[in-house]
Amino acid sequence: MTTMKELIAAWDKKDINELRDLVALAGDDIDLSSLPSAVEIPESLTTYPVWSMDVLGRALVGPAADEVEELAEIIKWCATKNENLLKTYTIRGYWSTEKVVGPGNLSSSRVNLPAHWRGKRVQVILLDH
C-alpha cells in the first residue's frame, strides 16, 4: 500500500494543483519544507511562504500550503516588500550581449546565442521582473 508521503514524493512536478490536493489529504502528517519542487525556490522569496513550484512557474504557497499562485506575481509582490530582491553582480567574461527570452518548451524558455558559444559557460541575469 502506497503512503501519502510516497505519493507526494512521486509527484510528477507538472501541475502544482495535484500536489496541493495531496498535501490537503495528508493533513499534518508531512513536513511542508520537504515537499518536492520542479525548480529550486529562489532565496529571494524567503519573505513569502513558497513550498513548491511546478514546471509552469506556479507555486504552492500559504502557511498551510493550500494556495496556488503564479511565480511572476510572487516576485512582483516581494519586490515591493523587499528591495534586496534587486542585486548587483560583477562578472568577468569575454563577451556580453543582451537578449529577450523567447518561447521554449513546456518547462523552459530560450535565449539564442552564437553557435560558437556551444559548450561554453555563460551567465544569465534576469533584468526585468
pTM for the structure as a whole: 0.63
Secondary structure (DSSP) of 100-126: --EE-STT-EE----GGGTTS------
* 26: CB partners within 8 A, 6+ apart: 4, 5, 8
The pLDDT value given to residue 75: 80
Q: Kindly report, residue by residue over 55-86, the tens digit of the pLDDT.
A: 998 999 988 899 999 988 888 887 777 655 56
Residue whose C-alpha cell reads 502506497 in the numeric block: 2
Q: Mean pLDDT per segment of 10 residues, for the chain of length 129 residues?
A: 89 95 89 90 76 93 92 81 68 87 84 90 82
